[in-house]
Amino acid sequence: MIVVITGASAGVGRATVRAFAREGADIGLIARGVDGLDAARREVEAAGGRALVLPADVASADQIEAAAAQVERELGPIDVWVNNAMVSVFSPVMALQPGEIERVTDVTYLGVVHGTVAALRRMLPRDRGVIVQVGSALAYRGIPLQAAYCAAKHAVQGFTESLRCELLHDGSNVHLTMVNLPAMNTPQFDWVKSRMPRKAQPVPPIYAPEIAADAIVWAASHRRREISVGMTTVAVIWGNKMAAGLGDRYLARFGYDAQQTDEPADPHQPDNLWQPLPGDHGAHGRFGNRTSTISPQTWLNERLPAVALLLAGGAALLWGARRWRDA
């Protein structure tokens, strides 16, 4: 299996590299940070696979097209493409600079478009392949202080739905799926550009990146339209459908503090908006003591047909037992 992962050097992308490597995949590794890519390559090779380091900025369609061509020349036909790269800015809307909004959009949204198009150029003629969009609960529910990121994730969701309809219209066997994530314990909160007075944190509850990675690997081999990871993701998406106004007021009151720790922010903290930070940052952030390493909801979600069958069988047995008792 040949897999390409964007944002492969750190966070969820890095955990996904490890998860696919355990499955025996050969992996094309795309990100800006060479140190993290080299470390990811060593992990893939230690698991027995081949890895190709592809330093590239997903905001550039030309760079992503060149990376895809190199993968097919050196590793083989791409089976799975995972669009995961992202950047963000934590800031009130009125303090955002135009260039910051453009940069978040270019990476988090247009990076998905560029990756998807590069994958489709190769998958459509072969009539096979899987594209996994790494989405978010924030693709369905905007929150304060992350307008640029939420808008980009909303755009990814709309783009994906439009493309899915086109693939169905054409009778294509290329599968498109979206994996929506909750708050994750990744390094991004130590390098995200922020104007908040205190240090950034994921909105609790916080999940380990391995939970997301396992769901991405699962989605790559199951023809599910999309999958939501973590009970909070399900609650946010459905809560917004049913009571968006209530969500507005809740987030207006609690959404600011929920995204900040009690520690004052470092005004000189470097960020990765325009350039990657040096070093290998791995998959995990600094919130390990507050992180859940299991998600019963995700486990059940991945087994929905079996769970539904089991529940139906149990209901039938209960109905039969009551009929026998009352006879």
Nearest Cα to 129, choosing from 252, 19, 18, 220? 220
Question: Nearest-5° angle of CA 139, CA 143, CA 149?
Answer: 55
Q: Which fold has domain 2-294?
A: Rossmann fold (3.40.50)
State yes or no: pLDDT of 310 exceeds 60: no
pLDDT of residue 295: 73
Mean predicted confidence (pLDDT) in 35-46: 98
Among the ranges given (120-124, 196-200, 285-289), the one the predictor scored with the smallest mean pLDDT: 285-289
Residues ≥6 apart with Cβ < 8 Å to 80: 1, 2, 3, 4, 20, 25, 129, 130, 131, 132, 220
Selecting among 109, 149, 250, 256, the annotated active-site residue is 149
140 is catalytic: no
> Is the pTM above the cut of 0.75?
yes
Residues ≥6 apart with Cβ < 8 Å to 58: 6, 7, 30, 64, 83, 85, 107, 110, 111, 112, 114, 115
- For residues 83 and 274, what is the distance between their CA atoms, to the nearest angstrom? 19
pLDDT (tens digit, 9 = 90+) per residue, 194-247?
A: 999 999 999 999 999 999 999 999 999 999 999 999 999 999 999 999 999 999
In this predicted model, which residue has the larger pLDDT, 130 or 310?
A: 130
Banded pLDDT at 318 (limits 50, 70, 90) = low
Tokens found for residue 301: 């979600």
pLDDT of residue 254: 97
23 close to 79: Cβ distance less than 8 angstroms: no
State yes or no: pLDDT of 317 exceeds 70: no
C-alpha distances in angstroms, 276 versus 7, 20, 111, 265?
Answer: 11, 24, 16, 20
Fill in the amino acid letter for 92: P
State yes or no: pLDDT of 309 exceeds 60: no
pLDDT of residue 311: 53
271 close to 193: Cβ distance less than 8 angstroms: yes
